[in-house]
Amino acid sequence: MSMCFKERAGIRWGHSLYFASSHIKQQAVHQAGISSTRSKMSHGRGALIVLEGVDKAGKTTQCKKLVNALIESGRPAEIMRFPDRTTQIGQLINAYLEKKSNLEDHVVHLLFSANRWELEPLMRKKLEQGISLVVDRYAFSGVAFTSAKPGFSLEWCMKPDVGLPKPDLVLFLQLHPLDAAQRGQYGSERYESSDFQKVVLQRFEQLMKDKSLNWQVINAAKSIEDLHAEIKSHSETAITVAEFQPIGKLWK
Ligand SMILES: Nc1ncnc2c1ncn2[C@@H]1O[C@H](COP(=O)(O)OP(=O)(O)OP(=O)(O)O)[C@@H](O)[C@H]1O
Ligand SMILES: [Mg+2]
């Protein structure tokens, strides 16, 4: 899995709106988004939309496109990603993933969970303000990766994330390893090996059996635009459904 730091100039993750192409154009959209947020506040909350999937399935590509499309259609939306490497905890995770430090496996798992919990108040606040959050990996990746290591049960791995904001939609981008391989080689970060990724996929499949969550498995072998249309359609439905429901608690 490539979790390399992909921030580029003009693109900020997590704490602010995501600006894609023209800064000025997007600023106008941002302003419209804020006014729209205000007008929608009385209508209801935003939706928590999570993109998960195998390595190179197109999660980051689709998160960016989805946020832009939602904003452009007048639905306030922001992008987030986990791990968020910008926080102090995120920096510990970053050093570990880049193999600059070694940490005990339980510690790493708890740090990834802590990284989600430290952003929980912000996520909740944004959702309550009517802003939909499009999240690039969430607790499911956390559980799938640690439980792929020897000696870790799925149940133990899920515990620290119990009670986090429950996604209204989890889009799982499914891609055959041969198709994924054509999209680029594994990098040098931790976890980037095909054997490990196969076990990770099995763990994701176990998590997808949980019918209390709105899992949608998407065939990611399609073109970026076709995939986007499908993801946007699922997301719009989730936003409409979530609007008048309370924010749920994950795995509770
Ligand atoms: N539908 C698609 N068809 C072909 N190539 C794609 C498609 N979607 C994304 N790509 C390309 O595949 C590569 C991986 O895409 P992306 O970074 O969005 O995947 P990811 O799921 O976020 O990967 P990672 O697990 O490494 O974070 C990029 O080079 C991207 O341009
Ligand atoms: Mg990515």
Nearest CA to ligand 1 atom 26: 2
Ligand 1 centre distance from Cα of residue 244 (Å): 34
Residues within 5 A (CB) of ion ligand 2: 59-60
Gap between the Cα atoms of 137 and 125, Å rounded = 20
Instruction: Determine the atom of ligand 1 nearest the C-alpha atom of 61.
Output: 18
Ligand 1 centre distance from Cα of residue 172 (Å): 14
Contact assessment for residue 192 and residue 237, using Cβ atoms and an 8 Å cutoff: no
Q: What is the value of pTM for the model shown?
A: 0.86
Nearest CA to ligand 1 atom 1: 224
Q: Is the pLDDT of residue 35 over 60?
A: no
For the chain, give the percent of residues with pLDDT over 70: 83
Tens of pLDDT, residues 195-213:
898 899 999 999 999 999 9
* Amino acid in position 75: R
Ranking 56-70, 103-117, 192-206 by mean pLDDT, the lowest is: 192-206
Ligand 2 centre distance from Cα of residue 184 (Å): 12
Pocket of ligand 1 (CB under 6 A): 1-2, 53, 55-61, 183-184, 222-224, 227
Q: Rounded to an integer, what is the distance from CA 247 to the centroid of its chain?
A: 17
Cα-only R_g, the chain: 17
Residue 6: pLDDT band by 50, 70, 90 thresholds? very low
Ranking 15-24, 73-82, 100-109 by mean pLDDT, the lowest is: 15-24
Contact assessment for residue 136 and residue 57, using Cβ atoms and an 8 Å cutoff: no
Question: What SS3 class is residue 46?
Answer: coil
Contact assessment for residue 30 and residue 131, using Cβ atoms and an 8 Å cutoff: no
**CB count, 10 Å around CB of 24?**
9
CA torsion 238-243-247-248 (nearest 10°) is -40
| CA distances to 27, 57, 63, 207 from 221, in Å | 33, 8, 16, 22
How much is the pLDDT for 34? 42
Instruction: Determine the atom of ligand 1 nearest the C-alpha atom of 183.
Output: 12
Contact assessment for residue 147 and residue 154, using Cβ atoms and an 8 Å cutoff: yes
Comparison of pLDDT for 81 and 34, the residue scoring more: 81
